[in-house]
Amino acid sequence: MIFTAHTLVGVVLGDRYSLHVFDIVTLLHTLVGSIAIYALGFSFRVPRVWLVTSALVFMVGSVATSRLQHVSQIISYGWLPVLILMLVTMSRRPTPTRAVALAILGAFWAMNANQVVFLGALLLVVVAIYSYRWTPFPKQLLLSQVIALSLASLIVLPLYASMLETIGASSRAGISVGMSTWSSLPLLVYASTFMPSLYGNLHSTVWSPNDITENYLYIGLLPPILLLVAVIAGVRWWRPAIVAWIAMLCFFVAYSVGVESPVYRFCYNHLPGFQLFRRPSDAAYLVNLLFALGLLILGKSIADRCILIERKTVWRSMMVFVIVLLSLPVLGINLGAAATPRGGMGILFDSYEGLVGRVLILFGLFGVFFRLLKRTHRFVWMVIASLGIFLTLDISIAGRFGGKFTGTYSAHEIAPGYLARDKTDERLVDAWLAEHSAPWSRVEVVGGVKALGHSSVEKWFGTQGYNPLHLENYRSTIGAFNTMAEPRRFAAAPDEVFDARYDLLGLEYVAFYAPILSEKVDNGIAKQARAYRDALALEGGSMLKTDGHYEVWKRPGKSLWLATADPKKPGKLNPAPCKLIHFGNVQVDIACRMEKASQLIIGEVYAPGWTACVNGAAVELMRYSEVFRSVKAPAGPSRIRMSYRPVPFLRWKSCPA
């Protein structure tokens, strides 16, 4: 998210940057996207009620209000309609200025590299090809598209080259299609398009109501109503725009199902680029966008025909809808089979009651329509206006308020303490770690959310954290793990508590999540955490701080974060006569005074792109134990600088004066 408005606002506001501001900036992205949706439909003379409903579906429906950690995808989702609008605008009057503007915005959008960008690019390709159907300047359009694509590619090339190099040096090759199981959306989850307040993850033990923070696919009654209105209006389904829309919708639905569908497996295993991502559920963003675009397409089709609906057609369509509605109990049976072992039947019944209530309101609206049919000839537009209001309320309100967790979740021994915890107290540990930790004095967090390796309040230095990808040399030599979800482990010595490599990393503190230290918690993480704590105590470690959430222990041993190798004793390290001058993400400055020329080792991970300078002269940056950075330091005083240059083709051996 470096190349996003969130970063820019954070830099401008500094300490005044808060989560409220963060949320507002996120909301602005979906607002901009909804305005672009409205403008796109307006340019095609789509009736206004369809425009408003489409914009609303884009902004508040489905994954538009998804989980906080998916903000990167929400940003990409918000900009996508703007790019579609710019493509359409350029097709009507291709000019170099519009091509350059599209290239700049497209490059800015693509810099936030994620799967929504990748899948969204496929959608943009379809729109770009389809735009030749209405452009009066096909040759100029082709030239403008080539200019835009070429310029955007040049802008993002350095960033993508750096990312692909890092991915090549990471553990990405060990990730298989089977690891996408957790983020695949089973078809039953699509029931949330019909039932408000329903969220079911069939891969876990939790079955809970839907709310604004856990929202995959909820978009109200839009799908059946969209189909119903189209059938009533006699839409010609074989129109190219509708066929293209249906084809893309089917593809993204099948892709979001993930490992449950051969579509995702085929794309992952055989098509270039798809193997870079492992979250098929991100296709839900495209599903919701296509529902919003579908409203524009069908609204335009109905407006073009301007037909009056006969009563028998209405009754026939309503009968079809009733048959579909009566078939929902069959879906309920399948959902019940999934909800029962998770204690979610009560929530399932509540959700079904909500569905019935919404359908009764819908039938009530149709009853009013029939009475008004005798008095007016504007039945079609009254249907559209009324359904627009209904969808507005349905999408904006249903599933957004209240809710309870299932008994299965609430009965978990950690749940009561988690739900009643005082976050202010937790910040005390963050503040303590921020004050006492440093690059040479790191903390290892065992269990709890802090094991993810970061804090939204304070900055402290750790050894591990959550990331699906790790540098392969770090993972294979030391081991990479996240103790919130898995036990602590080493690649070479699984049970070694005092591994010497952690001395080199500068590990000084170990923070245990207090609930897992209880004998009541019986799992691999908890058992290992208690054994780890006991081993620290046995070797002279002591508890320095506790607040009821975390216990911070002093680890026996000494930090060798800056060390020299003993040439007479391979593997023997001694503290280096050096001090840290500057430590940053892309630059480290060290001052040393060696008695004799020595190999200096720093407890930071070696990665492609890191270079070294000693006393202003470029030197070779070497690996120590395959994972740490190392340089040859001369006798006497020296100034050592390690710098990170991410772009492979923009690296040169030079040092600042």
Instruction: Return d(Cα 499, Cα 506) in angstroms, integer.
Output: 12
Instruction: Return d(Cα 117, Cα 123) in angstroms, integer.
Output: 10
- Mean pLDDT along residues 31-39: 95
- pLDDT over 80 at 160, yes or no: yes
Where in the chain is CATH 2.60.40?
Answer: 562-650
Quickly state the pLDDT bin for 223 (edges 50, 70, 90).
Answer: low
Among residues 517, 521, 641, the alpha carbon closest in space to that of 578 is found at: 641
End-to-end CA distance of the chain: 33
Place of tokens 């030079």: 654
Tokens of 212: 């604004």
Fold annotation for 562-650: Immunoglobulin-like (2.60.40)
- pLDDT over 90 at 428, yes or no: no
SS3 65: helix
Give the Å distances, CA to CA, from 114 to 27, 127, 239, 278, 282.
Answer: 19, 20, 33, 11, 9
Q: What integer pLDDT is reported at residue 403 of this predicted model?
A: 41
- What percent of the chain clears pLDDT 70, i.e. is strictly above it? 77
Quickly state the pLDDT bin for 477 (edges 50, 70, 90).
Answer: confident
Q: What integer pLDDT is reported at residue 212 of this predicted model?
A: 35
Instruction: Give 352 or 287, the one with higher predicted confidence.
Output: 287
Residue 200 backbone phi and psi in degrees, to 5: -130, 120
Looking only at the bridges linking them, the beta strands covering 507-513 and 442-446 are parallel
Instruction: Give 2 or 129, the one with higher predicted confidence.
Output: 129
Least confident of 14-18, 49-53, 230-234: 230-234
User: What strands lie across the sheet with 573-575, from one edge to the other?
Assistant: 573-575, 562-565, 598-605, 628-633, 622-624
At residue 53's C-alpha, the angle toward residues 377 and 118, to 5°, is 140
Quickly state the pLDDT bin for 232 (edges 50, 70, 90).
Answer: low
SS3 457: coil
- pLDDT over 60 at 6, yes or no: yes
485 Cα distance to chain centroid: 18
- Counting DSSP H helices and E strands in the chain, the numbers are 21, 16
- pLDDT over 90 at 80, yes or no: yes
Instruction: With beta carbons less than 8 A apart as the criterion, state whether 433 and 545 touch.
Output: no
Sign of CA dihedral 114, 608, 454, 447: positive
Structure pTM? 0.83
- Mean pLDDT along residues 98-116: 95
Name the average pLDDT for the chain.
Answer: 81
Quickly state the pLDDT bin for 408 (edges 50, 70, 90).
Answer: very low
Instruction: With beta carbons less than 8 A apart as the criterion, state whether 184 and 259 touch.
Output: yes
Per DSSP, helices labelled H in 480-588 are 500-505, 524-538
For the stretch 356-396, pLDDT in tens is 777 777 777 767 766 666 666 556 666 667 767 777 777 76
- Mean pLDDT along residues 35-44: 95
**Burial grade of 632 (CB within 10 A; 0-12, 13-18, 19 or more):** middle
Quickly state the pLDDT bin for 97 (edges 50, 70, 90).
Answer: very high
Residue 139 amino acid letter:
K
Element at 75 (helix H, strand E): helix 71-92
Least confident of 112-121, 214-223, 248-257, 647-656: 214-223
Cβ neighbors of 80 (< 8 A, separation 6 or more) are: 33, 109, 116, 120, 123, 124, 289
Instruction: Return d(Cα 273, Cα 348) in angstroms, integer.
Output: 38
- Mean pLDDT along residues 450-456: 72
- Mean pLDDT along residues 261-278: 91
